[in-house]
Amino acid sequence: MATATSSQTRNTVYVAIFAAMIAAMGLVPPIVIGIVPVPITLQTLGVMLAGALLGPIRGMLSSLVVVVLALAGLPLLAGGRGGLAVLLGPTGGYLLGWIFGSLVIGVLFKYWVLRQKSQGTRIVTGLLSILLGGIGIIYLFGIPWTSVVTGLDLGTSALGSLAFIPGDLIKAVVATLVAVTVHRSYRGLMR
Amino acid sequence: MIAAHNTSYLAKLPAGLKFGALLAISIGLYLIPSWQALVVLLIGSLLLLFSARVKFQQLRTALITLLLILSFVFISLGMQTNWENAWVSVLRLLTMCMFAYAVSLTTTFDAMLELFQQVASPLRYVGANPAQISLGLSLAIRFIPELKRVYLEVREAQHARGLANNPLAVAVPLVIRSLRIADDTAEALEARGYDSADKLK
């Protein structure tokens, strides 16, 4: 029983540190592209890394912890946002998408990417996993949510999110390289 | 977005009541199709915020972001359907967010978190451990300044090596050191006999 409890505590601490990483990445000042201030933040990089490094359950819980703390009122989201309005507002779906995004990335890393032997195939499969989970799944929640909340049709809602795609692609590449490198030097993260 | 020293009558109401009311209002707002009624409700929500003596300064960045998104929504919705439709949609969202701000800004973080934990407490029966949930939430908050410190250290070290602009050279050591901190913390908790056994069982 003692070992079961201690591994549970360790898992909790891992979840907490990745939640803190997602939150801390929101502190980095948003980069403004063009005239319209579209905040490109690093937070989804943290979401991607949580799934890729901790696996499905713990990765998902890390995102969930950030969402819960933000909804409870801590200004953890990019630009110091927080509170219940974030979920009710037009971009609330992306926040829910984080939770499922890190879950999907975690599943793919655990059962697909980490079973690849060579570094090259790990990078390719890892990038595909992160593109699917970190961009595909998050937008799958975010775009229909905006559409339902505002009454815009899906096409316009998707068009509005296009501005974030370049930043997200860069983050996906960085997350893949970081995850593959860390898994090589820090083995046994997902047992 | 924290209820900083708000001592108004709204702050004295139990968090569960405010949360429930917000949920009901949010659903109700979707059933109202007329913009006139929504204007009245928006004024009502603003009066609520004023009467609770909320500092509007706290809302500034949140409102700017919200208004930017809403203006995009307004223009595209107006051009696609009609302008009345666009007004209804934008007013509804604005009103909903104002009510949400009224709840968030008059409820302390502790009270809100306690409410969430109460809501999540039935999860105990499917194997979730409330003590571990509390530990995870409080550790996450504690780790944020810790990670900022680690980030600054790693960046300084890589700057000295001329690698400050290489995202991988900063991110990889940052992640590995975070994992070390997590391992150390877990060991320290175990060494002190941290017992998370569910006493409610």
Angle between helices A2-25 and A56-71 (to 10 degrees): 60
Reading chain A (191 residues) residue by residue, the pLDDT tens digits are: 344 455 888 999 999 999 999 999 887 765 555 444 455 678 999 999 999 999 999 999 999 999 999 998 888 887 777 888 888 888 899 999 999 999 999 999 999 999 999 999 999 999 999 999 999 999 999 999 989 888 888 988 888 888 788 889 999 999 999 999 999 988 778 86
Distance from CA of A71 to the nearest CA of B (A): 8
CATH code for the domain in which residue A152 is found:
1.10.1760.20
Domain membership of residue A17 (yes or no) is yes
Chain A residues closer than 8 Å to B70 by CB? 90
Distance from CA of B162 to the nearest CA of A (A): 19
Distance from CA of B163 to the nearest CA of A (A): 15
> For B136, which of A16, A151, A181 is closest by C-beta distance?
A16
| In B52-129, alpha helices (H) | 60-80, 83-106, 109-120
- Both ends of chain A: CA-CA distance in Å? 19
* Cβ separation B194–A152 shorter than 8 A: no
**Domain housing A175:** 2-185
d(CA B37, CA B33): 8
Q: What are residue A57's phi and psi, to 5 degrees?
A: -70, -55
Domain membership of residue A191 (yes or no) is no
Span B22-76, pLDDT tens digits: 989 988 888 888 889 999 999 999 999 989 888 878 788 788 888 888 888 898 8
Domain membership of residue A79 (yes or no) is yes
Domain membership of residue A132 (yes or no) is yes
* Cβ separation A89–B97 shorter than 8 A: yes
Domain membership of residue A190 (yes or no) is no
Q: To 5 degrees, how large is the angle CA A136–CA A139–CA A145?
A: 150
Domain membership of residue A62 (yes or no) is yes
Domain membership of residue A116 (yes or no) is yes
Overall number of domains in chain A? 1
Domain membership of residue A45 (yes or no) is yes
